[in-house]
Structure 1
Amino acid sequence: QRRGLRPRLAGLGSNRLVRQNLVLFAGGLVAGVGGFVYHAIAGRVLGPSLYGDVASLIALYAVFTAPALIMVVVLARYAASLVASGADSSIRYLVVRSSQVTILPTIVIVVAGFALAVPTAQFLHLHSPLPVIWLGFGIAALWQTGIPRGILQGIQNFTGLSANLSLEMIVRCAALSILLAAGLGVTGATISVMAGTAFAYGLGMYTLRAQLGKASVRAPLRSMIGFSLTAAAGTLGIMLLYNLDVILAKHYLSPHDGGIYGSLNKIGTILYFLTLSVSQVLYPRVVEALMRNNHPGRLVAYSAGIVGVLGAGALLVFGVVPGLVVRLLFGPSFIDAETYIFLVGVIGLALSLNNLLVQFFMAAHDRWFIPILWAGVVMLGVSVSLYHGGVGSIVTDVLGTMLALLAALTVRLLFLLPRLQPVVPE
């Protein structure tokens, strides 16, 4: 006998994966909206030419925050393993040791911001090198923020993680409005990034106060080193997939077209950030399932379904009212982007699914996805470098790359699923 709609909905409401996704989706939605409000404010106040500076700087920021995201992946996996094996008393040690290890790199990135400000500004055709210096401080702050975020994800405190992600963007947007009103322009846009991440770090450590208040039990961390290479390859690859094109577009296109493409990239990544919570929930759940000898195939199938449903809704809006999307987010001066809105929506959905699969592969400690992912990154860079006749050419380059990569990663998933084995705790 077939079940009715109400029992099915009740079943979904009691599903742990769905509940966790809803909690993190709420925070991710606020963070995602906040991210686009940030770009919308900057675009409307600064105009296409100066906004092109902001878009390329934020793309550069995203690439150089890869170490923070790698740290999140590594710490989340290790924290999830500790909890699953009943060794959660070692969480405090994990936080303290990670903080000690990251102090020196944090100082180095600040110094690099000063040293490389002028050549970076020249390459990106920025109006001033000063924003690059402030960007270095923002990157340093985010590297530290990766520690509490990774632990929160690993121990599956999705409420705390959700609040952390959303409040960072609220603080960033508030700071941006104040600094632009004060006439600080592009420099103010980068200072606001640092303000948001610094707030998120403090909030993250406060959220972990219960774990930090416990007696510290030393845990062997050597196993983290080997996995760090896998996490680095996966995280940096995904970061480049949605930032490399913006940097190259700013280099090859005119200031106006560079700003238009920057706005398209941000609109396309709406789908990525809208569905990012799904992969953030999936990751520790897969680690937990494998350690407890449960097969994670259903988890990845449900997660892909959630991404597909959310993405389809966004694509419907992009296809029906593309002009409204552009005007609401960036204003009438960006109306040249209208033609490409649906295509960049497809790019965003493909990016989301690629990220979901990469997170699954990393949680399963698979390494064969790495050459596939990086072949996609190389394909993206080469195609944009060779074919950049205009905004439309770069959109076509990116769309072809994303779809080809999704097909290749799906083949790898179908090959891997029947061969998955439980993870033996180290």
Structure 2
Amino acid sequence: MGSVLLVNGGNYLYNLLLGRLLGPEVFAEAALLVTLLLVLSFLGMTFQLATAKFAVLFSGTDWDAFQQLMYKYALGFGMLVGILLFSFAGTLKDVFQTESALLFKTFAAAVPLYFFMSVNRGKYQGHQDFTKLSTTYQTEMWSRLLLTLVLLWFVPVSPSFLVALGIALSFVFGLIPSKFDGKKIFRKISLEASKKKQVVRFMVLTACYEFTQIIINNSDVLLVKHYFDAMDAGLYASLALIGRVVYFVAWMFVMLLLPTVVEKKKNGEATAPVLFKYVSYIAVLSFTIVVACAIFPELIIEIMFGKAYLTMATLLWQYALATSLFAVSNIFAYYFLSLDEYTPVIVSGLLGISQIVLIMFFHANLAIVVQVQIIAMVTLLIAQLIYFAQKNMKA
């Protein structure tokens, strides 16, 4: 937990420094790359969570075969995503109104590494080897922060390209520590058909949920970048970054929640107390952050980004509220996912799509963009609570 807080703090510092160094208009492109990184991290979580879950359930030959399968899937999917990003770089340049397509091509080249890294992290998470898990997050974060700053200060080329290069290079460092046992990874071995089906089913459903995460957590920044000018997009990116602090902190509880719930279910123990504990943590944290954003919005924005971003002060607590509602809903969703209950995935998907539709129809100004998200997140949380109540009544 301490390591996750440090990593999130470092990532936050990375974004804050970019915002101050580049100014709102140029920061809009840097924030777009950071958003793409978040999208990639959600896709990578499909591999990480699947590996973490089955690291608890499989052992011996099954575990060796499973590892081999996951690395093959990671390589194949990573190459597919990278090729698609590279091929459509020109289209992405036009859609998001960036100066060059090179930043998308640079990002695309490193994508396969990220999925290998995600499988490694899943192994450490499932086996609760938190020292190695912490190390891989630390090496990725610090290398991205330091390399990007060095590049921006000493290399006189497009800042957005340098940010993309810094992100790409950090994936290489994120592979530390990696221990590939060639005898186990590359020998001819296959997972039993029924178990492979179980793995694929979990991955597909997890991918669906992670896709809803991408929609809910990132669609607003991408749509604002499309509908608004560079200044407004940069201002909104700063608002989103501050408001999402509760989600980033909440993630450390998700990291602990999944293997704990899977282990308790495997042993026939009650899992609801674990959920209640983490929901209470997030609720208290969220309430504190929303209140702080409501009382001291200008102070928070000026400290983090500077006076150039102060026009977003009135919206800060509202965005923090939307993110807080999502963070609590997310704990419920991952809890059910770890128990092989997939209805919340469908609910999240429908609400994620509704959020996009609402923003597409209601984007007269940035305030409306934030407020429609609050409506969508309130609905999502209510739906998750109703589902939880129904499941417990049946039990």
> How high is the TM-score relative to the length of structure 2?
0.92
Q: How does 1:217-236 map to 2 (within 5 A)?
A: 219-220=191-192, 221-222=195-196, 223-236=198-211
2:212 to 237, 244, 247: 237
* 1:179 and 2:188 aligned: no
Contact 1:121/1:127 (<8 A) preserved: yes
Partner amino acid for 2:373?
V
Name the residue aligned to 2:89: 117
Deviations 1:161-202 (A, max 9, x none): 233223321111111101111234011111111122221123
Q: How many Å apart are 1:325 and its aligned residue?
A: 1.7
What SS does the corresponding residue of 1:242 show, helix, strand or coil?
helix
Partner amino acid for 1:306?
Y
Q: How many Å apart are 1:129 and its aligned residue?
A: 0.9
Name the residue aligned to 2:53: 77
* 1:142 and 2:114 aligned: yes
Name the residue aligned to 1:198: 172
Partner amino acid for 2:118?
G
Q: How many Å apart are 1:334 and its aligned residue?
A: 1.1
* 1:273 and 2:248 aligned: yes
Identity of aligned residues (%): 19
**Where do 5+ consecutive residues of structure 2 fail to align?**
none
Name the residue aligned to 1:3: none
Counterparts of 1:418 and 1:168, CA distance in 2: 44
1:163 to 126, 131, 135: 135
1:44 to 8, 16, 20: 20
Residues 331 and 164 (structure 1), Cα distance of their counterparts in 2 relative to 1, 3 Å cut: same
Counterparts of 1:419 and 1:75, CA distance in 2: 31
Deviations 1:121-177 (A, max 9, x none): 110000111111111124322112110111111112233223322332111111110
Residues 419 and 364 (structure 1), Cα distance of their counterparts in 2 relative to 1, 3 Å cut: farther
Name the residue aligned to 2:325: 350
Deviations 1:323-378 (A, max 9, x none): 22212222221111211111121122112112111111110101211221111111
Q: How many Å apart are 1:316 and its aligned residue?
A: 3.6
Partner amino acid for 1:275?
A
Partner amino acid for 2:152?
L
Question: Number of residues paired by the alignment?
Answer: 388
Q: How many Å apart are 1:217 and its aligned residue?
A: 8.4
Counterparts of 1:303 and 1:271, CA distance in 2: 13
1:152 to 115, 121, 124: 124
Q: What RMSD, in angstroms, separates the aligned Cα atoms of the two structures?
A: 2.2
Q: How many Å apart are 1:114 and its aligned residue?
A: 2.5
Q: How many Å apart are 1:89 and its aligned residue?
A: 6.4
Q: How does 1:11-410 map to 2 (within 5 A)?
A: 25-82=1-58, 87=59, 90-181=62-153, 182-184=155-157, 185-203=159-177, 205-206=178-179, 219-220=191-192, 221-222=195-196, 223-410=198-385
Q: How many Å apart are 1:92 and its aligned residue?
A: 4.2
Contact 1:279/1:356 (<8 A) preserved: yes
Partner amino acid for 1:186?
S
Q: How many Å apart are 1:90 and its aligned residue?
A: 4.6
Contact 1:109/1:136 (<8 A) preserved: yes
Contact 1:59/1:244 (<8 A) preserved: no
Q: How many Å apart are 1:261 and its aligned residue?
A: 1.0
Counterparts of 1:158 and 1:239, CA distance in 2: 26
